[in-house]
Structure 1
C-alpha cells in the first residue's frame, strides 16, 4: 500500500548550489585567465597599440567564452574529463586493436 504524501521529507536545494560558477556569462576561471594574459600583455609592452590589442583580444575571447557557456556551461570540465579518458576509450574501434 502506498504511503501518504505527507510522510515524505523535503529538502530545499538552493539555486546557488546547483548553478555553474560563471563570471560575466562565461566560465569563471577562463575569464580570469584570459583577462590576466591581456593585462600582462598590456603592462609588458606599455604602448597604446598593445593596450588596444590586449583589450580587443580580451573582448573577442570573452565573446567566444560566452558562446561556449551558452551552449554548455560545464563544457571546460567535460572536455578536460574527455581528454583524461582518451587513453582508455579510443575514438574508433578496429578488429586489430590490442586490449
Structure 2
C-alpha cells in the first residue's frame, strides 16, 4: 500500500433517523403533553367558554414558547434539570474520607 492510500479517511454515513430527538409539534414531547394536560384540566374544571378560551390561549402560547426553546436545544429541559442537580460549590478534597 502506498502512503496516500493509508492516509485516506473512511467516511461512514450516519442516517438522520438514528439520532433524531423525540419532538411533538416541534417541541419536547413531555412538555407539550404536560401543557396539553393542563389545558384539558382547565377546560374540564371550568366548564364554560371563558375557561376554554383561556386553556386554548395557554396551550397555543406554551407550544410556541416550547418550539422556540427546542430550536435552541431539543433537550433543554433535561439539560436544565441536570444543571440544577449540580452543587453551587465543590470543596477541594482529595478523597471523600479526608478530614
Q: Normalising by the residue count of structure 2, what TM-score does the alignment of the two structures yield?
A: 0.75
Task: Provide structure 2 residue ranges, at least 5 long, that are not aligned to the other structure.
Answer: 93-99
Task: Provide structure 1 residue ranges, at least 5 long, that are not aligned to the other structure.
Answer: 91-96
CA distance in 1, matches of 2:72, 2:91: 36
State the Cα deviation string for residues 55-76 of structure 1 (Å, max 9, x = none): 0001011111011011111111
Aligned to 1:35: 36
Aligned to 1:71: 72
Instruction: Tell me how many residue pairs correspond in the alignment.
Output: 89
State the Cα deviation string for residues 32-72 of structure 1 (Å, max 9, x = none): 00000100110111100000000000101111101101111
CA distance in 2, matches of 1:39, 1:23: 17
Root-mean-square deviation (Å): 2.3
